Amino acid sequence: MDRPQRQIGRWLWIAAAALFGLAAAVWAMLPDGGAGRVERRADCYAPTAMPPVETLADGRRAVRLRVLLWNVEGLPWPIRTGRDRKLAKIANWISERRNAGLGPDILILHKAFTPAASDIAVAGGFASIVPGPALGQKRRLPAAPPPPDYADRAHGWKGETIGKWLDGGLYVATSLPVLASKSEAFGQDSCAGYDCLSNKGAIALRIAIPGAPEPLILFNTHRNSREPAKVAIARAEAAHVLQTQENDAMLAEFAAESSAMIAAGDFNNYRAGDRTGRFASDPGFRLAGKGAGYAGRPAPMTDAKAWHDAYDLLGYRSGGALRVEPLAVATLFDGKNGPRLSDHDAQYVIFRISWPTGARPMPIPLPPCFDRK
């Protein structure tokens, strides 16, 4: 090798080393994707924290559950900056309501990636805080088969092949007795664009309502975005369908199709996956739509007004012995009902869960305790 070639080779090695060092420095500055994760499970339940049981005019027994759904935009630097102050305001508001005995009874969070975001669940004083998929969690169930060449056409420069930087960002928090829970990540290739950087998936809980004859299923998922994924719309929607299929597989293992359920998810647009799958094909599944004033109304998945009225939605279905009905639906912190604290508004729904008077209460395998909220 002559001198000019040796000089070129030396500079190539120097450039490669510099690029490697720069990449390592950038990687070192990236957020710890598991730093904000919190989890706790109560080993008893506080009778004084349970919603009161009432008798309806038709003789049925019932409770009212206040459910707050909020995508809190808890994204870390460098994706977002300056979020801690607004996240603290969210936490303080929920803490004040809980301390005043005003609920929510169930808190459902999306995009709670940072410590300040997960602190929202902690501040509420809930007995149980159940997170979604962890950063390194792999899917246990079989992944949905992608379209031909879907994985081969992955966009590395759009975040599809460089691994997970964040966990799932999902939480369900409640002081109602949690009987069982399950989390499941989406398949490795069941994502599109920048959404692949977080380990999205779903969580499901089986909770007891003291006095009720059957458990209630709580479900929370965050499926692939559309335009924010920064890939072709067809690819983002294909991922949405794959994730819907994987959600269905998880629910099939965890809950019977006839189970009473409250479900929260990527219900901010009528997406490709929302037109298929368990919820779309279940004639008993409804959305908690807005009626007159703050009244709630049952709406099918195809109800255009329900999708238009709320950026995020909760769905529900009644079960064999439990009837689920939305009594009130409110959008909060939307610039009208409170200042904007996130890029998503909060959705507050009051559900009535009722059952026949003569039904035998289900046994609760947790002892009562008297030192919890």
pLDDT at 3 over 60: no
Question: CA gyration radius for the chain?
Answer: 23
pLDDT at 269 over 90: no
In the prediction, which pLDDT does 30 show?
Answer: 47
* Residue indicated by tokens 């929510």: 104
* Residue indicated by tokens 């009208």: 336
d(CA 2, CA 326): 81
In the prediction, which pLDDT does 29 show?
Answer: 42
Segments making up each domain of the chain, as ranges? 1-30, 33-355
In the prediction, which pLDDT does 151 show?
Answer: 83
pLDDT at 25 over 90: no
Element (H, E) at 131: strand 128-131
The answer to whether the bond into 47 is cis (omega within 30° of 0) is no
pLDDT at 24 over 50: no
Question: 3-state DSSP call for residue 287?
Answer: strand
Mean pLDDT for 272-289 is 94
State the helix-helix crossing angle for 84-99 and 115-123, rounded to 10 degrees.
Answer: 10
**Cβ atoms of residues 113 and 76 within 8 Å:** yes
Q: Which of 36-40, 62-66, 96-100, 353-357 has the lowest mean pLDDT?
A: 36-40
Nearest to 129 by CA among 36, 249, 268: 36
In the prediction, which pLDDT does 8 show?
Answer: 56
CB under 8 Å to 186, separation ≥6 — which residues? 139, 143, 199, 200, 201, 242, 243, 246
* Residue indicated by tokens 């420095």: 25
pLDDT in tens, 295-347: 999 999 999 999 988 878 999 999 999 999 999 999 999 999 999 999 999 99
Mean pLDDT for all residues in the chain? 89
* Residue indicated by tokens 């962890």: 134
In the prediction, which pLDDT does 270 show?
Answer: 86
pLDDT at 133 over 90: yes
The answer, as to whether pTM is greater than 0.95, is no
pLDDT in tens, 156-209: 778 888 889 999 999 999 999 999 999 999 999 999 999 999 999 999 999 999
pLDDT at 255 over 90: yes
Question: 3-state DSSP call for residue 124?
Answer: coil
pLDDT at 28 over 50: no
pLDDT at 263 over 90: yes
Strand partners, 97: none
Percent of the chain with pLDDT over 90: 75
pLDDT at 16 over 80: no
Beta strand 286-290 pairing with 314-317 = antiparallel
CATH number, span 33-355? 3.60.10.10
Q: How far are the Cα atoms of 56, 78, 277 from residue 64, in angstroms, in the given order?
A: 12, 41, 29
In the prediction, which pLDDT does 243 show?
Answer: 96
Which band of pLDDT confidence, cut at 50, 70 and 90, is reported for residue 21?
very low
In the prediction, which pLDDT does 227 show?
Answer: 86
